[in-house]
């Protein structure tokens, strides 16, 4: 199966830094920001964006969490899936600007589930979406606010995001 590397380690670091800058710009600073990573790769991405935000903005207060969407999937009964912990920062999400963070945006169904999960927890003032890769093929009216890389793909291809802490190294590859 031919593999093609589309983002290497330095591309990913640059993308994370750029997304961080864009988040601060769109929010006019870091006030009320809550970062929620979607398991599994979204969690590590959120951690790295959190570190990057702290480097850029000395006044940044970290509100980092995890939002598991297993029980909210629209295909949840097709297969048994591992349930991950959901961790919401103690300050909550009410009236905050929540940035959902995931590795790949594809059909949009994961994000739809995440929005449902979010609404059961509280009422954010705004919800934004950051993804490392947008590969197109949306099935729902959902669009990202912050994108690391737009990657036009065919539906037959597989996009694999690998991150240092989860997979040992940083890269994005396409399997054909």
Footprint of other proteins on this chain (CB under 8 A)? 68, 70-73, 75-86, 116, 120-121
Nearer to other proteins, 66 or 159 (CB): 66
Smallest gap from Cβ 120 to other proteins, in A, equals: 4
Q: How far apart are the C-alpha atoms of 176 and 163, rounded to whole Å? A: 20
Least distance CB 100 / other proteins (angstroms): 18
Closer to other proteins by CB, 93 or 151: give it.
Answer: 93
Closest approach, Cβ 27 to other proteins, in A, equals 26
CB of 76 to other proteins, least distance (A): 5
CB 121 within 8 A of CB 36: no
CB atoms within 10 A of CB 53: 24
Orientation of helix 41-56 relative to helix 9-26, angle to 10°: 60
| Closest to 117 (Cα-Cα) out of 96, 100, 131 | 100
Residue 9 φ/ψ, nearest 5 degrees? -60, -45
User: Of the two residues 3 and 71, which places its CB atom closer to other proteins in the complex?
Assistant: 71
Task: List strand residue ranges (DSSP E) for 92-157, in order.
Answer: 97-105, 126-134, 146-150
Closer CB to other proteins, 76 or 165, in the complex: 76
């Amino acid at each position: 199966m031919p593999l093609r590397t589309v983002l290497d380690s330095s591309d990913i670091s640059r993308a994370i830094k750029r997304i961080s800058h864009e988040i601060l710009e769109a929010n006019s600073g870091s006030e009320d920001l809550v970062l929620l990573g979607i398991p599994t790769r979204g969690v590590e991405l959120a951690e790295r964006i959190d570190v990057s935000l702290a480097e850029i903005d000395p006044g940044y207060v970290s509100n980092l969490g995890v939002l598991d969407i297993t029980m909210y999937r629209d295909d949840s009964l097709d297969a048994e899936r591992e349930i991950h912990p959901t961790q919401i920062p103690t300050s909550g999400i009410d009236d905050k600007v929540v940035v959902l963070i995931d590795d790949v945006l594809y059909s949009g169904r994961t994000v739809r589930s995440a929005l449902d999960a979010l609404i059961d927890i509280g009422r954010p003032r705004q919800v934004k979406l950051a993804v490392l890769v947008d590969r197109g093929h949306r099935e729902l009216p959902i669009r990202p606010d912050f994108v690391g890389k737009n990657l036009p793909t065919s539906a037959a291809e597989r996009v694999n995001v690998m991150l240092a802490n989860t997979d040992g190294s940083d890269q994005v590859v396409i399997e054909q």
